Amino acid sequence: MTVSTYGDFGMPAEAPGADKVVFGQVLADNGFTVMAYDIPGQSGGSAATGSTRREHGVTITDQPFFVSVNGSSLDEVLASACSPIGSVSPGCSG
């Protein structure tokens, strides 16, 4: 597991958000990867709602973080999203 904060990358420690994650990664032995980072200035929000869009080359969102998953197959990624430790998403059964 790797976690680095905005403060680790030079943001002044007293600045709001310096303790937020600029890069977080968990890598499983089989190569399955989950990466995430906090959005500076955002708090609250939920994984089920919100909006994200691109404007003039910039990502605009009202969400507090972004998550990326990478696996060897779509089935592997979907299985992890539906696991008891994952966030159950629409389309998961059981």
**Residue 14 predicted with pLDDT over 80:** yes
Q: What is the DSSP-derived secondary structure letter of residue 31? A: S
As a whole number, mean pLDDT of residues 9-28 equals: 90
pLDDT at 7: 93
**Residue 94 predicted with pLDDT over 50:** no
Is 45:63 a contact under the CB 8 Å cutoff?
Answer: yes
Round the average pLDDT of the chain to a whole number and report it. Answer: 79
- Name the nearest CA neighbour of 30 among 2, 64, 86, 71: 71
**Residue 85 predicted with pLDDT over 80:** no
The Cα 44–Cα 14 span in angstroms is 21
Written as six digits, the tokens of 93 are: 């059964």
pLDDT in tens, 19-37: 999 999 998 888 888 888 8
- Long-range Cβ pairs for the range 6-13 (8 Å, 24+): 6/38, 6/40
pLDDT in tens, 55-80: 998 888 887 888 888 888 888 777 76
pLDDT at 91: 52
